[in-house]
Each structure stands twice: as structure tokens, then as C-alpha cells.
Chains A and B, each alone.
Chain A
Amino acid sequence: MLKSKTFVKKTRSGGILKVVREHYLRDDIWCGSEVCVECKDESPVLEKDPCMESSMCTFPHYLIPDTNVVLHQIDVLEDPLIRNVIILQTVLQEVRHRSAPAYKRIKDAIHNKEKHFYTFTNEHHRETFIEREPGESANDRNDRAIRAAAHWYSKHIPDSAEIKVVMLTNDRLNKEKAEQTGLLVYRCDEYIKSLIANPELVDRLALTSDEKNEITSSKILFPEHLPLSQIQSGIKSGKYIQGTFRANRDNFLEGTVFVHGEGDESTEILLQGLQKLNRAVHQDVVAVELLPQEDWVAPSAVVLQDDGSKGEDEEEEEEEEEKKLQTKQVHRDSLKPTGRVVGIIKRNWRPYCGMLTLSHIKESTRHLFTPADRRIPRIRIETRQAATLEGQRIMVAIDGWPKNSRYPRGHFMKNLGSAGDKETETEVLLLEHDVPHLPFSQNVLSFLPSMPWAITEDDMNRREDLRHLCVCSVDPPGCTDIDDALHCRELENGNLEVGVHIADVSHFIRPGNAMDQEAASRGTTVYLCGKRIDMVPELLSSNLCSLRSNVERLAFSCIWEMNDNAEILNTRFTKSVINSKASLTYAEAQMKIDDRNMNDDITKNLRGLNKLAKILKAGRIEKGALTLSSPEVRFHIDSETHDPIDLQTKELQETNSMVEEFMLLANISVAQKIYDEFSECALLRKHPSPPPSNYDILHKAIKTKNLVIHTDSAKELADSLNQADIEGFPYFNTLLRILATRCMMQAVYFCSGLDSDFRHYGLATPIYTHFTSPIRRYSDIIVHRLLAVAIGADSTYPALMDKHKQAALCNNLNYRHKMAQYAQRASVAFHTQLFFKSRGILNEEGFILFVRKNAIIVLIPKFGLEGTVFFENKDKPSPKMTFNEEVPTLTVEGHTFNLFDRVRVTISLDASNIQHQKIRMSLLEPVIPGVSVPLPEAEPEAKKAKLDR
């Protein structure tokens, strides 16, 4: 059965190596077709009557695409219409080498049973394997292999079946050669255009290189990219530098290349001007060449957007840009290393959301697409549905960026819905932040417990029965996924017993099943305004795991014995069954505590907890825990229209901090326990202390108020924040805390076996993890599992003990966490816009948070809203401005703006650009002639009253 064939490879690493690998050829690889009688395939993939109606191929047929077709036309291949495709192993391997995303997508397509994609292992088939001939390039060999396999198929499938094999290729040479051997072969676009069922598929065709040349034979705009081999040798010799390109969000002509150095030595190289950027797109891995020092420039603080010139001719735009470039070169104070892109090492393109900007010529099928992400350049696409796509949010993929084209070329993928529509916008922001939000698949749901669900005898025997305890939960109003509950009681010896009971999600989600994998991939529940993207299916999140009152629920309990001074005498963990006596909101709980007339068990419970929490908190602050602040807003959402009707900052009550205190305590106790038990693979959370330079802005800011702040340690920072107060300016402290928050580093999950620094800076604790919210965070589920193993309540499984798998999981969780935060912010911003849209123009008091070269950033405490007041305007001459970076201050027409200054601004919605609607703020007070705006009429107020109902 086995035929052995050895071949020799030469690879280069230091010297020439001769690599000899075995290559077995087999005769038990089946063709995978239902019609075939020779092959003993048990479950053939390809259908008996493959029906794809095409005007060119009127007979039933199977498709064999070549590598480039799969790579570039994956959008088309993914369409449900395309079925019965034979993906050759040669093709699959080439795709794998060249593009990871395309590889993943084609694999998904292969796994999809509906699609009837079959992978034919032609490289190991005795009759389709071919050897590379002397002088033949690897690509040519692969093309020949594809032809050989196609040929084999056309011979192999019995004539009686009347099924033909159609090969798709865009390579002219390949096509000619295939035709010579008598194969049916078409260009991909020819074939797709001939499909009867779905003419729209044509739009999704990626443009091939042949076509590009036809479109623009005009002048060459960009320097040629160097070939990869040259780049590699250049990088080796130090001539070029490799890094990740990051486009500037505010200036489309500028970007930086982030170079990963060894250790902490990462540097950035500045790139300015279209020529220097040389077709790099955000997140691409590029090779740059440093310019000589005399050509170095400083980063411009100017905001420059590519949206000024809508649909104009390319030439005109060019000129305009050149002008902008020149104005920038005036600033030459702090020069940065500057370079130019010489080649792209790896493109990191993904599908982009955005909107279509229609061409001025009506009949034109070529249009510009403006992505929602400002860092992505506009993309030229070809579509016939332009009219229907206008005003719609669409998804587009980039196909390439030829050197004679101002914009990259792409193709249309999907229509998301009309812009401005709440559903569509939410979809866009989820897509743009890479939040998995599709409904749970059937496969995932199949792992849910069957309803009606009840606690079994077996469960009862394994768990501690804590139903008699007076447990209650305290949460924000409207919360349905209650994952924590508390109790507190006095013991006979006079000590207090405090218990934190966390929903036992790991009981329902068993390691490794589809539900677990889905949850691991989602990482966290994402809370948007008026919408929640669950990490686990709703049955669990809002019912079986939610610790609702007066039902029996499974819990994981952490129980301390404490004395009156809140000193922990004893800690234990147990799986338990509880029956919550009450689900309270923060406000309700607060009322119970404050109301002296109430003396029921729950209230006593709460009072005990509250007392302990205060001691705990004081202790924590003593150790240097930071109390930071960030403006948080809540929307009151209309229950019917789901439109925001009111906006208010979140209020904090004593009970908030009470619950928080015990959660922190539980997290710390658990962290210590799992680290003691599994020093190599405990999942922990750390918060690195920020580098001193992060505090520069804080130091500068506070100097203007003649105060000093110490940032040497968390403790000193906390103390100085507590002391920083100004008479008659109560909001100052909050402002300061907001600024301090911005100086902080991001807290991250990590695996204890791969790190040595465990400290949590903000909480001032040597070790920390997340244990208390398993319904909405996957990290907590892992911690639950670890803890369960540690107390012998559950068994371990391989991935849990593998520190590298854990580290990979942590990376995903950190990424999801970050993206969820961004999505959340974007959602708030969008709802803020909706809110102000209905309000018209408002005027409010605010404080200056930052000062920029041509603008000030103002915070409105009432809405927790941050906005930029620009002093430059397109249609007005710029006022005289001087910017002092040291203090920092900005002087406009004689008035100096300092940090923390009180100003009055008008707030309105700028809907001039439907894609990027934004809140516009204009200065009211102090009045600077020609800069500030007059007070708006009282009319909006009336409007507001009306809307408030």
C-alpha cells in the first residue's frame, strides 16, 4: 500500500542544508464523489448531481480552483451558491503559507457540510503526485500538480455519471497549458459571471491583476515595493527595519512604524506623506528605511482628514495633499526618526466596515468606499448596486494596491443595513471591534442542561447545603445575570462568618465542549447601551446560573471567619447549594441599612457586612490602594423605542463599595489559594505600575494650581490625591483623579508560570485574580476550575495544566477585554450622539481637561462627556494662537486657557458626515471675539421639555 519516494530540499540557514524527507504515495485516497464506484469512500462529500446553473457549463460539474482563485476569491467561494468544489492539497498548503485568514475561511468552508467542499490529498496520491523538474519553479510545479489532479479527476469520474470537472484559474499560462491537455478551464470571473442564480456574486469578485492594468495606465504614484528576498537581506544587514505600521487616526498622511526591540527597547519611526507611507495599511508588517537625519521631521499635531475631497478627481486631490504637506514642514522643534516604507512583509488586511461614496459619474461602476476606521485609507470598489448601497453600511475587503493607484482596490462583501440605524450601527461597532456576536450555534446550545432543571440528589451529596443561610444579592437595577451573593452571621464564639457565593458556572460548562470553546473565544460578556452580548447562552446567564432570590442555585462559596476588626481568622472554599433570600438593588440595600426601623435578618446581615466592608476598605487604602475616577454615564433608555431619553452619571452608594470590598477579598483569597496549589499554571491578574514618565502630564497639570503630587508609589499617589483640594472647586479632585486614571497601565491576565511580577498596583495587593463573575468573564471560569481542583471538588484536564495554553488563553482574554471596552465606549458615544440629536443645541458648564495645539478638550461633568473645542475653522481665518507646551497653556487672541479652567460650551450634533457623526462643542464663555459663539436661543430648552414627556 505504501510507496516510498524521497526528495531533496535545500534550505538556507547559515549554510546549505540538505533536507531529505520521505514522501509516501498511496493508493487509498478516494476521489470523494458519490458517483464513483471504484473508490471505497464511506461518506463521499461531492454530490451525485452537482447543480450550479451556469450559462457556460450547462452540464453538472465539480470545480477545481487553483491557489490564486482560493486566495483572492474566497468571498465568492464562501457563497452558499458555490458547492461541490474540490480543494486540492497543493492549493490548501499554498493558501496556508500565504494567508492565514484565507486559510481559516477556506477550512471553515470545507467543514461546512452544506457546501460539499472536498479536500483531495493529491500530493500523496500515487497517480497525481508529480516531481519537480529541473529548472521548474515551485509555482510552476504546483500549477502542474493542479493540472495533473484535474486531469486525473476528469479521467477518473465514470463517463456514465456525465459529471465534468471544471478548473478555475486566472493565470493565462496555466489556462493555456490546461486547455492543451484537454481540460475544461475557465477564468474565475468568466465562470462567476456565467452563473445564472446569483448575478450579484459578480460584485464580490476580487479584481485580478490583469484588470488593474486596464483601468489605470496613468502615471505611477508610488515607488515600487522591494521583493521579499531583498527586504530580508536588507533587514539582516541593518539597512531596513521591520515593524508594524500604525496609521495616525487624525492625520491620514502620517503614520508610525512600531519596531519591536529586544526587551523594552521598542522604538517608533515616523512616516510622513503618501510617498513615504507607500501603500502601507494600518497593522501591516512593513520594512522601512531610515532617512538621513537632515530629513527628519516632527510629528504634526494637526488634525487632517481625508474626507474633505469627496469623489474628486485623483489629480486634484494630489495637489491639495502636497499643499498640506508643505504647511506641516514649518514645525521643526522636536525631530523624530523618520523613514519611508520600502516594502510590505505581511499584509494584515481584514474586512472593513464603512460606507460608499458614490462616484460623480452616474453610470460608473467604480466607487470609493470610506471605512469607519479612520486609520484605513479609502478603498476603490466596483459594484453595480451602487444606488442601493448608498447610505448603507457595507463591508469591503481589500484586494490589492497597485503602484499607479491612489487608493487600494477592493470588492464588496456584505450589506449591513442603513447608516444611522441603531441596529446597523451596533452591528458595525461590534464588527469593527471584533466582538463575536452571532447567535449561539446549535452545536453550542446542545450542551445546555435540559429543562426543567433541578438539583439532583447526587449534586446535593457532593455539595455543602447552605440553603438555611440568609444569603442575599446586591446588584445594579435591572441586572438579570446575578453572579454573586453574600451572607454574614455571628458565630457562637462571637466571631463573624462572612460568605461570598458565586454562581457555579463551571458546573454547567464542562471543559472542552463546544459551549466551553465558544465561551473561551468570546472571553467576556459585552455590555452595550441597551444590549448585552452574552458570553454564555441566556438560559445559563439569566436563569440557571443567576443567583436569583427564592430559588435553589448551585454556588461556589468562599467563607471566612472574621473577628470584629475584619481580620481573617480562617478561610475555606466549598461548592454549595444556596437559596438567596432577596435580590436587592444598591439603592434598596442602602435604604434598608439606613432605615433604623428595619430589623429583619437581611438588614442585620447587610449592616454587619457594611461595617466590615468599611474596615476592610480603610485597611486597603492604608496600604495604598487607589481610588480613581472616570466619568461614567448611564442612559435611561425608552422602553419602547430603545432611544436614550436621559443621561446621567453613575452614582456611587455605600453599598456599591460594600459589595466591591467583599468581591476583592474573595478574589485575593482565591488568587492566593490557586497560586499556592498551582504555582505554574494559576491564572492571575496583574496591574503593572506605570513608568514615571506617564505621570508627566499630571505633574504639569497640578503645578498650575501650585500643588504637588507624589507619584513614587501607589501609597504616596493615593495620599496626595486625597490631599489635593482647592477651596470652592469641589470638582477639582475628581478631575485630578480622572487625569490620574489616564496615566495608569492596563491590567492584564497572565499565567503564573510565565511571569514573575504579580503585583496589582491599583488595588495594592501582591496577588489578584478574577473569581466573582463567571457568568460574564471566562477568566473566572478557569479560576473556578482551578479552585475546584485545589479543593478536590473536580478533576483536572490537560489544557488547564498547560501553561502555554493558558498564556494563549490569557492573550485572547486580554484582547477581548480590551475590545469589549472599546466597543462599550463606542456604544456610549453613539448613544450620546442619539441623545444630543434629540436635544438640539445645549449649553453647559465644563472644565478643561487637556490643552492641544489648536484645541482644548473639555469635560462636561453633568453628562460625563468629553469633547474637543477647535479654534480653527475651515471657512474662517484662524485666530492667533500660541501654545506653551511646558505648562501647558494655549493662548487664543489674548486669552490664556489653563488646565482645569471653567468654561461654558454649547453642545450639538454635527451630522455633516453621516459616517462619523460627532458631538461638536463651541466656546461660549469666556467670550473671545471671533472665537466664541453667541448664546443659543432658549428654544432648545422648550424642545427638551416636550421630549421629556
Chain B
Amino acid sequence: MAGIELLSDQGYRLDGRKATELRKVQARMGVFGQADGSAYLEQGNTKVLAVVYGPHEVRGARSKILYDRAVINCQYSMATFSTAERKRRPHGDRKSSEMSLHLKQTFEAAVLTQLYPRSQIDIYVKILQADGGNYSACVNAATLAVIDAGIPMRDYVCACTAGFVDDTPLADLCHAEESGGGTSLAVALLPRGGQIALLQMDARLHQDHLDTLMEAAMTACKGVSKVLDEVVRQHLQEMSILTGE
């Protein structure tokens, strides 16, 4: 049986998007009372909850303390019901520790950690439903949560994936597209300055295509940043009206 056609001749993808179009992104900030910051984000069918605690005293091993800046502690996990097949996901498996590390690196680049020496910032993200682009959804949700917590950042960190099918770069891959083979590139971007916080690709891609693929991913990131910006401003406005007077 022929595999699925990821991009039709008419330029439509499996779910009806065009090559450069993003999935629908919806988000809410401040979904938890207890946490310092929290956010819920849907990127298509990928649904993520992000929670931020801190900055606070370093708990546990004192050796983790950094005397010039804050420690960022990330934990990525997936709900048992997040994928098509129900699966128990123990903590600390290879995939999620790798993802945790990537998130940590991403936010170390964006958060102004030097303002909080000797303290710790916890970022917990949980995938409630996985439909491709888990990393980018996590980054986007965590950004909102960090902003909600009032932790200073250089800029938003927006992440998006891009794939490469039939010599055409596709933005924001869904699960079917990710598993359909081919390369997938994830970029986390500080959109205003255009600095890249993290770039990840685990399949082979010819050097000649890298530029176009990066370009597509970065454009997609900027698209995401617009949506996030709207969400933040909306939230800000609502809150300030409440407390304003």
C-alpha cells in the first residue's frame, strides 16, 4: 500500500493546511492558583500544561546552587493518555530527560537568570495530548507560564518545527507528518532579535536545504510569537482592569 501523501499537488497537506500555514494555536495563562505561573496551550491537537515555580530557595542538593545566577530546573512528562496507545510513562526515561534538557537549555538562553543568584526556577511541562511538535508546544506553553510568573526574560521564546517533503519545507508538523519519514527541524527563537535559543534536528538533511528549512521554521516561529503576544496582551489587559483601580 502506498504511504500517505503528505503534500498534494495542489499544495494542501493532510489536514488541509498549505505548506507554510501553522496549526491553530490557542492558549490561556494563569490556569493554576497555587503555582507562581502557569499556562495551557493547544497547538492543533497537541495540548500542553506548563507550570512554573520560583524563583525560590534551591531545594535538595546544595551543590546545585549557582552563585551568579538562578538554576533552571525543567521536567518534561507525558500523560499516559497522551498518545493513541495508552502507555505508562515512568519518569526519567531517556526521551523525556533529553526533552527536559533541551527545555532547560532553551530557557537558560531566554530567562535573565543572573538577576536571581542562588535561587532556582522550576518549569514543569506535561503533554496532555501528543500530536507532533511536542517540544515546540512545550516551549511555547512554558514561555507563557514564565511570563505569568513575572520572571524577567529577554524576549518570548517561540518554537516551531519544520519538515521537508518533496523539496518543500512544511511548517509546524503534525504527528502524521512527523512519522511519515523525512527530516524534522525544531527551532526555538527569540523572535525580536532573531536569535536562536535551540536548534534540533535528528535526521539527515543535505546542507543545501538547511537554509530554506531554517527560514521556514523561523518564519513559523514568528507566526507563533504573534499568537503568543496576543494571548499575553489579552491576559495583561484583563488582569490590569481587575486590579487597576
Contacts and interface: CB of A to CB of B under 8 A. Distances in A.
Contact of A18 (B14, B44, B84, B206): B84
A110 B10 CA distance: 11
B17 interface: yes
Interface stretch (A119-127, A234-242, A380-388, A809-817): A119-127
Interface string A1-30: 010101000000001011111111110000
A17 B84 contact: yes
Contact of B24 (A2, A20, A21, A93): A2
B45 A24 contact: no
Given A15-B85, A797-B208, A121 B8 contact: yes
B8 A110 contact: no
Could you tell me the dominant secondary structure of chain A's interface residues? mixed
Contact of A23 (B1, B2, B16): B16
A6 B9 CA distance: 23
Contact of B9 (A97, A100, A110, A796): A110
Contact of B15 (A23, A89, A100, A798): A23
A249 interface: no
Contact of A797 (B10, B174, B206): B206
B12 A124 contact: yes
Nearest to B12: A121
A4 B176 contact: no
B204 interface: yes
B174 to A, nearest CB: 7
Contacts of A798: 205-206, 208-209
A19 B206 contact: no
Nearest to A803: B204
A96 B85 CA distance: 28
A23 B17 CA distance: 9
A22 B85 CA distance: 18
B13 to A, nearest CB: 9
A20 B131 CA distance: 8
B21 A2 contact: yes
A119 B84 contact: no
A20 B10 contact: no
A797 B205 CA distance: 11
A100 B85 contact: no
Contacts of B238: none
Contact of B23 (A22, A25, A797): A22
B229 interface: no
Contact of B17 (A24, A119, A801): A24
B2 A100 contact: yes
B204 A21 contact: no
Nearest to B206: A798
Interface residues of A, number: 33
A923 B21 CA distance: 77
Interface in B65-123: 84-85
A23 B12 CA distance: 11
Contacts of B16: 23-26, 121, 123-124
Interface in A742-797: 796-797
B6 to A, nearest CB: 13
B10 A21 contact: no
B206 A802 contact: yes
B5 interface: yes
Contacts of A17: 84-85
B139 to A, nearest CB: 20
A121 to B, nearest CB: 5
A107 interface: yes
Contacts of A797: 206, 208
B222 to A, nearest CB: 18
A830 to B, nearest CB: 37
A107 B9 CA distance: 9
A24 B9 CA distance: 17
Interface string B144-185: 000000000000000000000000000000101000000000
A793 B1 CA distance: 42
A20 B45 contact: yes
Interface in B25-75: 44-45
Contact of B10 (A15, A24, A119): A119
Contacts of A802: 204, 206
Contacts of B9: 107, 110-111, 119
Contacts of B12: 121, 124
Interface in A72-102: 89, 92-93, 96-97, 100
A642 to B, nearest CB: 44
Contacts of B208: 797-798
A798 B183 CA distance: 13
A111 B206 CA distance: 29
Nearest to A22: B15
A6 B45 contact: yes
Contacts of B10: 89, 119, 121
With most chain B CB atoms within 10 A of its CB, the pick from A18, A25, A103 is A18
B84 A21 contact: no
B206 A22 contact: no
Contacts of B209: 798
Nearest to A89: B8
B84 A19 contact: yes
A22 B84 contact: no
Contacts of B129: 20
B187 to A, nearest CB: 20
A21 B8 contact: no
A24 B206 contact: no
A96 B2 contact: yes
Nearest to A25: B16
Contacts of A92: 8
Nearest to A19: B84
Given A2-B21, A4-B24, A797-B206, A21 B174 contact: yes
Contact of A21 (B14, B21, B85): B14
Contact of A22 (B1, B44, B205): B44
Contacts of A103: 2
A24 B204 contact: no
Contacts of A15: 85
A124 B8 CA distance: 12
Contacts of A18: 84
Interface in B186-245: 204-206, 208-209
A18 B17 CA distance: 22
Contacts of A20: 45, 129, 131
Contacts of B15: 21-24
A801 B8 contact: no
Contacts of B5: 93, 96
B176 to A, nearest CB: 7
B176 A21 contact: yes
A25 B21 CA distance: 13
Contacts of A19: 84
B169 to A, nearest CB: 13
With most chain A CB atoms within 10 A of its CB, the pick from B9, B10, B44, B174 is B10
Contacts of A123: 16
Contacts of A89: 8, 10
A110 B205 CA distance: 31
A487 B14 CA distance: 59
Nearest to B176: A21
A267 to B, nearest CB: 24
A121 B17 CA distance: 11
A698 B101 CA distance: 65
A793 B64 CA distance: 53
A802 B167 CA distance: 14
B19 to A, nearest CB: 13
A15 B208 CA distance: 42
Contacts of B1: 97
18 contacts: A6-B45, A17-B84, A20-B131, A21-B45, A21-B176, A22-B15, A22-B23, A22-B131, A22-B174, A23-B16, A96-B2, A97-B1, A103-B2, A119-B8, A121-B10, A124-B16, A797-B206, A797-B208
Q: Which 4 A-B pairs have the closest CB atoms?
A: A798-B206, A124-B16, A24-B16, A17-B84
Given A15-B85, A89-B10, A124-B12, 5 more contacts: A20-B45, A22-B23, A92-B8, A97-B2, A798-B206
